[in-house]
Structure formats: C-alpha cells, structure tokens
Amino acid sequence: MLDLKDGFVLYHGSYCEVKEPDLAKCAKRKDFGQGFYLTTSKEQAESFLRTSIAKAIATGTIEEGQKFGYISTFEFKLSKNLETHIFENADVD
C-alpha cells in the first residue's frame, strides 16, 4: 500500500496551470464526486492533461488550437484535517 508521508510529490494534469486548488472550480460529476484529483504517476497526469484539453475545447473554455497543458506538482504535507482516499489498484472496484 502507498505510504503518504511529508515531501511526497503528487501530480495534476490540466489545460491550465494550478498553483492552489480551488474546490469551487472542480467539476461535480467526477467518478468519485467533486474534488481535486491527484496522482503519483507523472505519465497518468499527462494522460489526464490531454483529456482536460479536449474537454475544455469542447466546452469553449479554451480556444480550439490550444495544444498545450500543464502538469502541476504538489508536495504532500501531512495534516490531521486532510481527508484522503487511496486506491491500491487502478480497477473498477
């Protein structure tokens, strides 16, 4: 199982740079509900980035010609008030 500890790097792929997550801007109909989704895999963040660009173009959020996005990195800091859900495997369950 993944052991989250201080200094752990997490990634977020998007059509725009994210310096500070804002849950009010997060989509409400995600697989696991509204939230700011992060991954331990830079490659997975790159895949999400491409999906984010396609969705943003389809909704008119960005211009159709935009071919770039951002991988934002976040350093994990342990907090008693942080609610997390860690998935051991990327599967249906």
pLDDT digits (tens, 9 = 90+) for 49-86: 999 999 999 999 999 999 999 999 999 887 878 777 77
pLDDT value, residue 36:
87
Q: Is the pLDDT of residue 1 over 70?
A: no
CA–CA dist 12, 70 (Å, integer) = 8
How high does pLDDT run on average in the chain? 85
Q: Which phi and psi angles does 70 have, rounded to 5°?
A: -135, 140
With 90 as the cut, is the pLDDT of residue 93 above it? no
Buried b (16+ CB within 10 A) or exposed e, 39-66: beeeeebeebbeebbeebbeeeebeeee
**What would you report as the CA-atom Rg of the chain, rounded to the nearest whole angstrom?**
14
Domain locations along the chain: 9-20+28-70
Q: pTM (2 decimals)?
A: 0.75
What secondary structure letter does DSSP report for 10? E
